[in-house]
Amino acid sequence: MRFARTTLSIAATLALSAPAFAGPFAPAAGQSGSTAIHKDSALFAGWATGWEDYTVSASTSAVANSWRTPEKALGKAVGDSYDIVSLGNGGSITLTFDGYIFDGEGADFAVFENSFSAAFLELAFVEVSSNGIDFFRFPTYSFTPSPVNAFGAVDPTNIDGFAGKYQQGWGTPFDLSLLAGTAGLDIQRVTHIRLVDVVGNGSEYDSFPAAYGGPNKIYDPYNTTGSQGFDLDAIGVIHLAAAVPEPSQIALFAAGLGVLALRRRRV
């Protein structure tokens, strides 16, 4: 999933010349060249185990109470339209793990949304942290040319770097090497992942370089209600280092008594 400078140059050229329905990025799940990872893939070593800081849309009608259960984002992806938590326009949630994510070969984790089709794609920015305080966003690219209505379509070949690129049951992969060298981030020890819903009315912009005519406005289905915005099913981790439990105070005290007893014997 590395997005090298040469690839970016090619993408820029294609973006200027290709029709809106055939962008330069990976296609939908199941198609040749897709980067989608199925929820049952043996690649996954673990799943999110905890959540923090769930902030949903301020509009009570936009996200129904039935979609406001953050615990539904924990554990393995279910792959249906219901076992999810909705973020609403501009909402966010942070997930934690039993251990930490490290940069290995290829993708390191994947995010699952609940889209019922290959084109109804509600998007989110993906941010990672090594301390739970300082977050850093993956670069994003959006070549969707015009606004998308509430149940309109987004061609997955026109977007990259967003969670929600693939339909339910298929995860969008992310490679931590894309953030290598970022001050304040240890890509070998990522402890938190934050998802931030994209408000898809064109008020937010992607990371496309100004040298190639960017940044671009981001469009996705707008304005949906009920389960508005990005709907998180799960986050699966490919490169996961198990947490090392800290010794309890009782264990430390017992160890100290053992050392003291040993010293007394020697005396």
Per-residue pLDDT in tens (0 to 9) along the chain, 267 residues: 444 443 444 344 444 433 445 799 999 999 999 999 999 999 999 999 999 999 997 665 789 999 999 999 999 999 999 999 999 999 999 999 999 999 999 999 999 999 999 999 999 999 999 999 999 999 999 999 999 999 999 999 999 999 999 999 999 999 999 999 999 999 999 999 999 999 999 999 999 999 999 999 999 999 998 899 999 999 999 999 988 766 665 554 555 545 444 444 554
pLDDT tens-place string over residues 120-157: 999 999 999 999 999 999 999 999 999 999 999 999 99
Q: Would you state the pLDDT for residue 193?
A: 99
pLDDT of res. 133: 98
Tokens matching residue 212: 């190639």
- Measured from the Cβ of residue 171, the count of other Cβ atoms closer than 10 Å reads 30
Residues 51, 267: Cα–Cα separation, whole Å: 52
Query: Are 2 and 178 spatial neighbours (Cβ–Cβ below 8 Å)?
Result: yes
What is the pTM (predicted TM-score) of this model?
A: 0.86
Domain that holds residue 87: 5-266
Our count of domains for the chain comes to 1
- Give the residues across from 47 on adjacent strands: 236
Q: Across the chain, how many H-helices and E-strands are there? A: 2, 16
Per-residue model confidence (pLDDT) at position 60:
59
pLDDT of amino acid 247: 65
Report whether 10 contacts 24 (CB < 8 A).
yes
CATH code of the domain covering residue 77: 2.60.120.260
| pLDDT for residue 225 | 86
Q: Please, are residues 166 and 115 in contact by the beta-carbon 8 Å criterion? A: yes
Contacts of residue 31, Cβ cutoff 8 Å, sequence gap at least 6: none
Contact call for residues 172 and 36 (beta carbons, < 8 A): yes
